[in-house]
Amino acid sequence: MDNVELYHYSNKVQKRDAFRCLEEFGKKIKWRNFDKVLDIGCGDGGVTTGILKKFIPDNFKHLVGCDISHRMVEFANRHYGDERTSFMVMDIEGQIPRDLRGAFDHTFSFYTLHWIVDQEAAFTNIYELLGPDGDCLLVFLGNTPLFDVFRILSRRPKWRPYLKDVERFVSPYHDSQDPEKEIRRMMAKIGFKNIDVQCKEMCFVYKTMDDVKKAVSAVNPFRMSAELEEEFLEDYIHIVRDMRLIDQVNNNVDEAVNIRNNYTLLVAFGTK
């Protein structure tokens, strides 16, 4: 999951969705003067600086990206750091530094919170990081065939040893009947106000098998050698075929296909 170079070039869907959600929910955010902004799970920093930053009024004070991965943070600082933009290592599920409590006017998170097992710990931390009247906009995955394919592969003897802890990497909302209600309830319990949670039906179409492989490889959380990963991705594609997620555009040409990824995106807004 921390192959930063690969992620950098294979995150089209993440970028598209961050932009759409900011366009749709951006009006809820109460920008003030000299705002301090946090992006949780910033990854390579591309979304933080290339998309989120464009929505932040120019007189902001500081934009901080945080990520659990040292490699991501190092890459982001090297490519996108400047006098008002910096990146730091922080686990949103763990203990947050005391001096960051109440330090931010706005917190954002894109395509990260579905990796978190202890949702309440992460959401409580997000609440703690906000100052009075601060707000948060959190975007993460609900249901996606990606997780079903991981589960199917985990049952195969060949992959079982590598995918032992598969459930740790399946979104906590993948099997939920009513994720909006679940998240709303959790946020209310923590103390969030003005809560708005929406579960959105999304679709992304990949044009080649290679694009699918790169996208899966960029977020593959399972440790294996590069050679083995190539076989893993081949098996992944076979299952995608079995699940009939592929529309053949031209029968004989493997390159001319539409590979549909229908998934749900959860968007949660709240204020302190």
> Binding mask 110-149 vs ligand SAH (x if CB under 6 A, - otherwise)?
xxx--xx---------------------------------
Residue 46 or 142 with smaller CB distance to ligand SAH: 46
Q: Look up tokens 């920093």; give the residue.
A: 45
* Positions 73 through 112 that interact with ligand SAH (CB under 6 A): 91-93, 110-112
Tell me how far, at minimum, the Cβ of 249 lies from ligand SAH, in Å: 28
Q: Which of residues 55-74 bind ligand SAH (CB under 6 A)?
A: 67-69, 72
Give the nearer residue to ligand SAH in terms of CB position, either 20 or 241. 20
For residue 199 the two structure tokens come to 């579960």
- Residue showing tokens 């991501």: 72
> Pick from 42, 76, 96, 240: which binds ligand SAH (CB under 6 A)?
42
**Alpha carbon of residue 187 to chain centroid:** 19
User: Closer CB to ligand SAH, residue 91 or residue 235?
Assistant: 91
β-partners of residue 205 are 260
* Contact residues: ligand SAH, CB under 6 A: 1-2, 11, 14, 18, 41-43, 46-47, 67-69, 72, 91-93, 110-112, 115-116
